[in-house]
Amino acid sequence: MKRGGWGDFFATSMNLWQYILKRLLSTIPTVFGALVIMFILTRILPGDPVLMILGPAHSSPENIAHMRKVIGMDQSLPVQFLRYLGRLVQGDLGYSWHTGNPVSKDLIMRFPATFELTTCALILMVFFGLPLGVIAGYYRNRMPDNIINGITVMGISMPSFWLGLLLIYVFFFRLDIAPPPMGRLSAEVSAPPVVTGLLLIDTLLNRNLSAFLSTVHQLVLPAVTLAFFNLAIIVRTLKADIIDTLKEDFIRTARAMGLSQKRVLFKHALRNALLPTVTMLGTIYGFLLGGAVFTEVVFAWPGVGMYAVESIQWLDYAGLQGFIIFYVFIFTIVNLLVDISYRVIDPRVQFD
């Protein structure tokens, strides 16, 4: 009987749902722990947000007392925390004073931008990282490996904001082939009505080809920046595992059976060496979804990373707390997906 693959995967789906439920329940203590730590940490940050809100000229004692009351800071810390939890259970993340919106609305509005950018970067990473990793492993310590090594190390050693600025300078400022780095859509095309928030999809739903192309155009540089920065991690992880896998008996068997080199490498070796790389991809993905902070700032990309930075600058407690909860949530989901994907890649993995 053929094992593995999607058929087998769905055969165990009852098991799978139980597993997902169990995993989701087990995140509750994690989220709670993160909440407590973050609540304390934001309060330890030096400074008083009320003074930041009011500014020196309006900081009369009456105004300060009033503003404290408005943002609920007149209560003791435990009371504030309980109040916050109470609202959180009802799905209320509080009110961000630096944007003037409910935090949940801010995050929902900004997440598609980050999601689109990060997913494109992830696709680029997989698209380039997997072949490069396999090739590097195969040609270990020879010219192709050295070249790949050089390129990826260069990527990871450049700070991403600097790489972003460099790409803007070369491709926009000097060569004029990249669009102005002003967010997700060129100023000349009008935005499609929001359906998913993902412009790549919304523009197509709206049958607006020029807006779609503009979206792709705007995505290229920031996605390349993100992907290039994280490429080294993927390539190196994969390379090490390819090297190990190539020493295994089943590879020798496959070769002995006369399979082509390419088939041996990309079908047999790659699939068996993939698990650690997928874990790594999942971690990077979760990490980036939480906001590719520097890249977003450099490209004026209105995502959650920029939101987090602004929240810290303005000592916006609600914004910061909301962001952290969101981050924990995203990480949990991505980890869960990664674990499930193990099962698809390697049928020997059991859910328990």
Partner 1 sequence: MDHKKGGLFMKKERMFGYGMILLLILFGMNSTSLAQSGEVLRVAFSADARTFDPGVVTRDYTGYAVIGGIYDFLVQYDLKPNKDGTFTTDTTKFMPMLAERWEHNPDMSEWTFYLRKNAKFHSGKPVNAQAIKYTFSRYIKIKSAASTVLVLAKVTEQGIEVVDDSTIKFKLQGPNPLLLDYFQMLSLGIQDPEAIEAHGGITPEKPNDWVAKNDVGSGPFKLVSLQPGVEIVLERNEDYWGPKPKTKRVIFKIIPEDSTREMLLQKGDIDILWLPPAKDYEVLRKHKNLKVVGDPSIRTTYIDMNRNVPPFDNILVRKALCYSFPYESVTKNILYGRAVQMTSPVPKGAPSHTSEYFPYKHDLKKATELLKEAGHPNGFSFTFQLGEGRIANNKEIAVAWQAELKKIGINMTIDVLPQAAFLEKLRAKNIPIFMIAWTSFVTDPFYQLLFLLGSKSFCNYADIKDAKIDGWIDKAVPEVNRDKRYAISKEIQKYAADQALWIYMFQPIFDTAMNKKVQGFCFNPDDQFHMKTVYVEK
- Binding-site ranges for partner 1 (CB under 8 A): 45-49, 51-61, 63, 66, 69-70, 97-101, 106, 109-110, 131, 135, 138, 161, 165, 168-169, 171-173, 176-184, 186-189, 191, 213-214, 216-217, 220, 260-262, 265, 297-300, 302, 306-307, 310, 315
**Least separation in angstroms between CB 127 and partner 1:** 8
Q: Are 124 and 155 in contact (CB under 8 A)?
A: no
Q: Which residues contact 215 (CB under 8 A, 6 or more apart)?
A: 184, 185, 199, 200, 203
Task: Return phi, psi of residue 260, to 5°.
Answer: -65, 155
Q: Which is nearer to partner 1, 10 or 169 (CB)?
A: 169
Q: Which is nearer to partner 1, 56 or 91 (CB)?
A: 56
**Least separation in angstroms between CB 89 and partner 1:** 22
Q: Which is nearer to partner 1, 139 or 287 (CB)?
A: 139
Q: Are 305 and 114 in contact (CB under 8 A)?
A: yes
**Least separation in angstroms between CB 24 and partner 1:** 30
**Least separation in angstroms between CB 142 and partner 1:** 11
Task: Return phi, psi of residue 292, to 5°.
Answer: -85, 75
**Least separation in angstroms between CB 280 and partner 1:** 22
Joined together, the tokens standing for residue 39 give: 């609540």
- Other beta carbons less than 10 A from residue 232's beta carbon: 20
Listed residue (285, 273, 276, 280) closest to 135, CA to CA: 273
Q: Which is nearer to partner 1, 308 or 338 (CB)?
A: 308
**Least separation in angstroms between CB 240 and partner 1:** 20
User: Could you give the C-alpha distances from 343 to 12, 25, 337, in angstroms and in order?
Assistant: 10, 21, 10
**Least separation in angstroms between CB 267 and partner 1:** 12
Which segments within 184-252 are labelled E, that is strand?
Answer: none
**Least separation in angstroms between CB 37 and partner 1:** 20
Q: Among positive and negative, which fits the CA dihedral 319, 320, 326, 329?
A: negative
Q: Which is nearer to partner 1, 29 or 55 (CB)?
A: 55
Q: Which is nearer to partner 1, 49 or 282 (CB)?
A: 49
**Least separation in angstroms between CB 2 and partner 1:** 24
CA distance linking residue 71 with residue 94, whole number of Å: 10
Q: Which is nearer to partner 1, 49 or 286 (CB)?
A: 49
User: Could you give the C-alpha distances from 63 to 20, 73, 83, 141, in angstroms and in order?
Assistant: 49, 13, 23, 68
Listed residue (113, 96, 80) closest to 314, CA to CA: 96
**Least separation in angstroms between CB 336 and partner 1:** 29
Q: Which is nearer to partner 1, 34 or 235 (CB)?
A: 235
Q: Which residues contact 93 (CB under 8 A, 6 or more apart)?
A: 87, 102, 103, 104, 107, 318, 321, 322, 325
Q: Which is nearer to partner 1, 11 or 187 (CB)?
A: 187
Joined together, the tokens standing for residue 73 give: 């800071």
3-class DSSP state of 68: helix
End-to-end CA distance of the chain: 23
Q: Which is nearer to partner 1, 63 or 350 (CB)?
A: 63
Q: Taking each helix axis as running N to C, give the angle between helix 103-138 and helix 270-289, from 0 to 180 degrees, rounded to the nearest 10.
A: 150
